[in-house]
Chain A
Amino acid sequence: MRHPTLAAALGVALVFPPLVAFDPYLLYLLGSAFLWAALASAWSLTAYAGQISFGHAAYFGAGAYASALLAQAAGWNPWLGVAGAALAGAAVAVPIGLATHRLRGAYLALATLAYAEGCRVLALNWTGLTGGGAGLIGIPPLPALPMGLPLELTRERAGGYYLALGLLLVALGVFAGLRRSPIGLAWAAIREREQRAQLLGVAPAPYKVLAFVCSGALTGIGGALYAHAVRFLEPDLAFSRGVSILPLVMATFGGVHTLLGPPAGAVLLYLGSELLLQPTLPRLHQLPYALALILVVLCLPRGLAGLARRE
C-alpha cells in the first residue's frame, strides 16, 4: 500500500469496533461483509490464472459440511474441523482444476456451475451423511482461542467479526504473496497468452489445478466459518447459487486481477445493499443494485479499481 498512515488508520479502525461494544447487528453486517470480501478474494485467485469459475458454491458447501460433520458427528475440536474444511474445499476443487485442461471460457463457467449444482443435489440425497433436506442442526460454535484474550472479543458476533476479518487478511496475504512469486507470474502468463506461456516452458495444467486448489481451500474455510457461526446447514444454503455468483460479481465490480478491488467491491456492494438500498427501497432494492452492476461493466471495464488507477 502506498499510504502507510492510511493503512495504519484503516488497521486500527478494523480492529476497534468490537472493543467499543458495537451494536451486534452492525457487527454481524461487518462480519458478513468481510466474509464476502474473503470469498471474492479467494475467487479472484482462479480468475488471476485466467479461469472463470462459476461454481465456488461447491467448495464453500464442501467446507461447511466437512467442518460441521467433523465437529458434530466425529467429535473433533471445531478448529481441527476448520482445517479439514480447507482440505475438503481443496479436494473438491481438484476435479474441476483438472477439467480446465479441456474446458475454457464460457464452457468452463458452464461446467463449474453444473458441478456445484451436482454437489448440491448429492448433499440433498446423501441423507445418511448430510441429513439431506432436513439439514444439520446444533453445529457447535468455534471455541475461543486460548490466547489470553478477553472472552467478550472471541464469542458470538465479535468472534465472527474477527474470524471473517482474519480470513480476509489470509486470502489477501496469499494473493499478494503468490502474485509476486514465480507461480503468480506463470498464472498471469497463462491468462494472457496460454499458448505463448506453453512455448516458454510453462505447463499450464499444474498451475491451473494449483489456482483451483488454493481458491478452493480458502473458500472451504469460508464455508466452515459460516457453518459454525450460523450453526445450521442445509444443502440449498451451503451450496446456494448466490455463493457461486456473488463473489464473481463482486470481484468484477471491484476490479478483477487487482489485489484490493475484489474485497472493496464485495464490501461496497454488500453494505450498500444492506444499509442503504434495503431500508430505502424495501421491495425493489435490487433495482439500483442491478443498475450499478450494469453501468460499471459497461463504463468501467476494469471495475472500480480502474477509477483509482486513473487518478
Chain B
Amino acid sequence: MSLTTLAQAVAAGLANGAFYAFLALSFAAILALTRALNLAHGELVILGGYVGYAASRAWGLPPLLLVPLAALALVPLGLVWQLLLARVREPVELNSLVLTFGLSLLLQNAMLGTWSADYRLLAAGPEAPAWLGLSPARAAAGIVGLGTIGLLQLLLTRTQWGAALRATSRDAETAALMGVNVDRVSAVGFAAAAAIAGAGGVLFAGFHYLHPAAGVELTLLGVTLAILGGVGRLTGLLWGGLLVGLAESLTLVWAGTRWRELVVAALLFGVLLVRSRGVGAGRGDH
C-alpha cells in the first residue's frame, strides 16, 4: 500500500470520526440529562437533513445557510422531547425506550408521508478539487464537528451556564437546591441537542442518501459512541468517534468492507471488558 493511500485513509478516518462524534452529541446529551436512550435520535438527524433538502429545493439556499436553518427548525422538537420525557414515570429507562421507539416510528412515518421512500441527496455545491481524497462535504462535516465539540467543551467548562448544565446532568435535585433553575437549564440542553441533530442532518445529507429509515444506523452510532466514550464526557465522545472512524477506514483499506462491522463490534466488546467497572461509572463521571 502506498503512502498516499494510507494518508488518504487516515484523513477520511479522522474527518468521519470527528463527524461521528458530532452526530452522537445529541444522543449523549439527552442520555446525560435524563437517563433516557433516545431511540428517535437518528430520525431527528434525518429530519434535519430533509428540512435542509426542502429548503434548498424551495428557495435555492446555499449549503452554508441550510445548516443553521435546519438547526433552528428542530429546536421546537427538542422542547417537545423534553416535555414528553419529563412525563415518563419509573422505571424511566424502560418507559423512555418505549416512548422514544414510538416517537421514532412517528417521525419515520411522517417523513415517509411527506417525502416518500425515495433516496435523496442534498447537492453540496460545486465539486471543488478534493484534498487528500476528501470531498468538500465530508471535510466540512469533519471540521464543523470538531469546531462544535471544541466550542461546547469551552462553554461547558468555562461558563456558569456550562457549570449549571453539568450540575443538572449529574444530580438535578442537588443542583436545584443550589439555586440552579433545573427546568430552564434542561430546556437549553434539549434545544441544543435537537439543534445539533438538525445541523448534523444537513451535513450528513451532503454525502449520504436520505431516506426515512436511514436514522436507525445513526441511533446505533449514538449507542456505540456512548459505550466507547462514556456518557457525559465530550472528550470521550470525540476520542470514541475518532477511534471508530479510523478503525473503519483502515479496515476498509486493509481488509475490505466485509470486516468493517466486525472490527467496530470487537472494539465495543474490548471496551466493555476493559471497563469492568461499568460504562459511565468510571473515573470522572462528567
Dominant secondary structure of chain A at its interface with chain B = helix
A residues near B90, Cβ cutoff 8 Å:
301
B161 within 8 A of A: no
- Shortest CB-to-CB span from B286 to chain A, Å, is 15
A residues near B31, Cβ cutoff 8 Å:
106
Partner of B108, one of A54, A104, A241, A286: A286
Stretch in A73-81, A110-118, A226-234 with 4+ CB within 8 Å of B = A110-118
* CB-CB under 8 A for A252 and B269, given A114-B224, A294-B103: no
A245 within 8 A of B: yes
B196 within 8 A of A: no
Q: Which residue of A lies closest to B34 (CB)?
A: A106
Please measure, in the bound complex, the distance between the C-alpha atom of A21 and the C-alpha atom of B61, giving whole angstroms: 63
A298 within 8 A of B: yes
In the complex the two chains form, is A293's CB within 8 Å of B223's CB?
A: no
- Shortest CB-to-CB span from A240 to chain B, Å, is 12
Q: Size range of the interface on B?
A: 35 or more
* CB-CB under 8 A for A297 and B95, given A106-B31, A118-B268, A286-B105: yes
Q: Which residue of B lies closest to A281 (CB)?
A: B109
In the complex the two chains form, is A105's CB within 8 Å of B35's CB?
A: yes
Please measure, in the bound complex, the distance between the C-alpha atom of A106 and the C-alpha atom of B97, giving whole angstroms: 9
In the complex the two chains form, is A297's CB within 8 Å of B261's CB?
A: no
Please measure, in the bound complex, the distance between the C-alpha atom of A246 and the C-alpha atom of B278, giving whole angstroms: 26
B residues near A298, Cβ cutoff 8 Å:
84, 87-88, 99
In the complex the two chains form, is A122's CB within 8 Å of B262's CB?
A: yes
Partner of A294, one of B35, B99, B261, B272: B99
B residues near A106, Cβ cutoff 8 Å:
31, 35-37, 93
* In the complex, chain B residues 245-286 whose Cβ is within 8 Å of any chain A Cβ: 258-259, 261-262, 265, 268-269, 272, 276-281
B184 within 8 A of A: no
A residues near B164, Cβ cutoff 8 Å:
none
B102 within 8 A of A: yes
Q: What is the interface of chain B, defined by CB distance below 8 A to chain A?
A: 31, 35-37, 39, 84, 87-91, 93-95, 97-99, 101-103, 105-106, 108-110, 112-113, 216, 220, 223-224, 226-227, 231, 258-259, 261-262, 265, 268-269, 272, 276-281
Q: What is the interface of chain A, defined by CB distance below 8 A to chain B?
A: 47, 52, 54, 99, 102-107, 109-111, 113-114, 117-118, 121-122, 124-125, 241, 245, 248-249, 252-253, 256, 283-284, 286-287, 289-294, 297-298, 301
Question: Could you show 7 A-B contacts with beta carbons less than 8 Å apart?
Answer: A114-B224, A121-B261, A121-B262, A125-B258, A248-B97, A284-B113, A298-B88
